[in-house]
């Protein structure tokens, strides 16, 4: 973002406005951390701000400061519509293509005359926003919200509440500070957030140590279903709707499962296929190590996208057909996958 744009935004935010902040559908830690972090920051200027999430998010995020103020479009459509109609500014965070907000909400945002500001770290941004802060080298949108506040010369406004929200997203999107996008600047931001009151150990416990017995049993089943294609350095997991039902699946329960596949020695490409009877799709999560781009793989074959090393996608075919398709595509990437 240019100096001129920053100063325009500063002017824009200098008097209270009606502001709507939107994360992507099926919000994760970075989506909720960044939107709520920005929400608390805007509140310090007495803006009339609100976070509208396209749909619900996992229980392990439901303690975030401001969680009780989040409007969920899925079951509060009329309220969301009014809020968007009255909005003067709409921030879209942690996504860069409007359809990622879900059909109904995307349409409302598209039709709104509010000033739109995008803050995001995914590849190939659309250009629906007047102000676009995009950087694919960033660990997380939360790190970018910190930078955004820094660009506005306002880091002294960051107190424990904002710090906690931003810490959550940086921690979850970096796999607890281990993915390659974690830089020394990321750690400096984290250090500053701890100084400002984020309780790192407690946050870690609240996000990761909330397993239910049934989730661990589901993990056990996922590990039994793990398949390895050693010559293509690929591993994948599947979970059918029946299996999810058997272990009382709740939103967020499969978060991180795919990383176990990627943790196998010598594996550089991992996938998990999860059946959703409700959406009539197989939801796919893809992860890689090194240069193999799961973003490109997903865009090319599974109607999705994301980052080089983490992407999502979907298939409208049944589980077996989807897995057969996946296996049949792999050899075309032999060059990249057998190195
Ligand atoms: P996950 O596998 O955790 O759902 O997603 C991994 C990453 O890819 C996340 O950063 C997520 O935002 C992104 N992602 C997931 N699904 C899609 C999609 O359909 N399109 C795009 N562009 N990104 C996605
Ligand atoms: Mn993110």
Q: What is the DSSP letter of 100?
A: G
Helix and strand element counts for the chain (H, E): 14, 12
25 CA to centre of ligand 1 in angstroms: 10
Check pocket membership of 311 for ligand 1, CB cut-off 6 A. Answer: yes
- Decide: 142 and 169 in contact? Cβ < 8 Å: yes
pLDDT value of residue 3: 94
- Give the DSSP letter string of 234-271: EEEEEE-HHHHHHTT--TTTTTTHHHHHHTSTT--EEE
Ligand 1 atom at minimum distance from 286 CA:
2
Express each pLDDT in 17-39 by its tens digit: 999 999 999 999 999 999 999 99
Produce one character per residue of 149-177: b if its CB has 16 or more CB atoms within 10 Å, e if not: bebeeeeeebeebbbbbbbbbbbbbbbee
- For residue 118, the SS3 value is strand
Interatomic CA distance for residues 42 and 50, integer angstroms: 10
34 CA to centre of ligand 2 in angstroms: 9
pLDDT value of residue 30: 98
Mutate to test the pocket of ligand 1, among 172, 311, 313 (most ligand atoms within 8 A of CB): 311
Measure Cα distances from 339 to 31, 300, 330, 332 in Å.
Answer: 34, 21, 14, 14
Interatomic CA distance for residues 246 and 70, integer angstroms: 31
What's the average model confidence in pLDDT over 123-150? 97
Ligand that comes closest to the CA of residue 284: 1
- Decide: 273 and 237 in contact? Cβ < 8 Å: yes
pLDDT value of residue 267: 98
338 has a pLDDT exceeding 90: no
15 CA to centre of ligand 1 in angstroms: 35
- For residue 70, the SS3 value is coil
Ligand that comes closest to the CA of residue 172: 2
- Decide: 15 and 150 in contact? Cβ < 8 Å: no
Check pocket membership of 122 for ligand 1, CB cut-off 6 A. Answer: yes
Domains in the chain with CATH codes: 3-208 (3.90.1640.10), 213-337 (3.10.310.30)
User: How far is Cα of residue 196 from the mean position of the Cα atoms in its chain?
Assistant: 24
pTM metric for this prediction: 0.94
What's the average model confidence in pLDDT over 107-131? 96
Interatomic CA distance for residues 268 and 165, integer angstroms: 31
Q: Looking at ligand 1, which residue's alpha carbon is closest to its atom 16?
A: 312
């Amino acid at each position: 973002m240019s100096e001129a744009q920053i100063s325009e935004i500063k002017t824009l935010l200098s008097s209270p406005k009606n502001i709507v902040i939107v994360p992507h559908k099926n919000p994760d830690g970075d989506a909720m951390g960044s939107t709520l972090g920005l929400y608390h920051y805007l509140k310090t200027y007495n803006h009339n701000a609100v976070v509208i999430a396209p749909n619900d998010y996992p229980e392990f995020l439901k303690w975030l400061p401001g969680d009780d103020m989040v409007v969920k479009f899925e079951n509060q459509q009329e309220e969301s519509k009014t809020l968007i109609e009255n909005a003067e500014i709409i921030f879209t965070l942690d996504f860069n293509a409007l359809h990622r907000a879900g059909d109904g909400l995307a349409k409302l945002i598209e039709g709104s005359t509010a000033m739109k500001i995008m803050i995001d770290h995914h590849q190939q941004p659309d250009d629906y926003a007047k102000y676009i802060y995009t950087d694919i080298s960033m660990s997380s949108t939360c790190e970018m919200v910190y930078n955004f506040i820094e660009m506005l010369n306002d880091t002294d406004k960051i107190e424990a509440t904002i710090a906690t929200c931003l810490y959550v997203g940086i921690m979850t999107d970096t796999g607890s500070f281990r993915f390659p996008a974690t830089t020394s600047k990321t750690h400096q931001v984290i250090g500053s957030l701890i100084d400002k009151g984020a309780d790192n150990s407690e946050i870690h416990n609240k996000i990761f140590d909330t397993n239910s017995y049934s989730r661990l049993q589901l993990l056990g089943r996922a590990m039994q279903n793990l398949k390895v294609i050693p010559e293509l350095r690929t591993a994948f997991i599947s979970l059918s709707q029946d299996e999810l039902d058997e272990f009382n699946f709740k939103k967020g329960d499969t978060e991180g499962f795919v990383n176990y596949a990627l943790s196998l020695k010598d594996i550089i490409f991992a996938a998990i296929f999860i059946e959703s009877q409700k959406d009539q799709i197989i939801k796919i999560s893809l992860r890689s190590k090194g240069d193999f781009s799961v973003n490109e793989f997903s865009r090319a074959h599974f109607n999705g996208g994301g980052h080089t090393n983490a992407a999502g996608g979907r298939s409208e075919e049944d589980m077996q057909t989807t897995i057969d398709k996946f296996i049949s595509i792999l050899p075309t990437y032999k060059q990249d996958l057998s190195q």
